[in-house]
Amino acid sequence: FTQKSDEWTPPTGSFLGDMTDEVECYGAGSRIVEFVSGGPKNYAYKVFSPSANKYSVVCKVKGISLNYKNSVVVNFETIKDAVLNNAPETYVETDRRIARTCTYDVISKPERKRYRVEYTKRRRLDVGYD
């Protein structure tokens, strides 16, 4: 968020329940320039860092490990497309997911997860914030 110089700034911290500064690690003056959310615990944002003069993208999706292979399928642009254009659901496939059997043996097995935008308790408005 942003605030004027004379407005109250909420305290930040590193403990449970404290607010944190997500862009602090990108350097002084860094700011989020674009944000998109596909539902709870499903978001991505672009950060501009003036000290490095570059854009960085952060993508977080609950239940999907965003390694290189998965980030080709689920990334900032695909989440944005899914939210703005009601894109169809996509699937993320993992070749070797570590799992336990009912007898506590550790095995690796293939896994297929569905990614989709989830807005069951909210509504989306067609309003721009430029």
Q: What is the per-residue pLDDT across 60-115, written as a single tens digit (0 to 9) for each? A: 999 898 889 999 999 999 999 998 888 888 999 988 889 999 999 999 999 999 99
pLDDT at 129 over 70: no
Q: What is the per-residue pLDDT across 15-66, written as a single tens digit (0 to 9) for each? A: 888 888 888 889 888 999 999 998 889 999 999 999 889 999 999 999 898 8
Entry pTM: 0.77
Neighbouring-strand partners of residue 60: 43
pLDDT at 130 over 70: no
Angstrom CA distances, 81 to 4, 35, 43, 64, 95, stand at 32, 12, 13, 18, 26
What b/e readout covers 100-124, taking b as 16+ CB neighbours within 10 angstroms? eeeeeeeeeeeeebebebeeeeeee
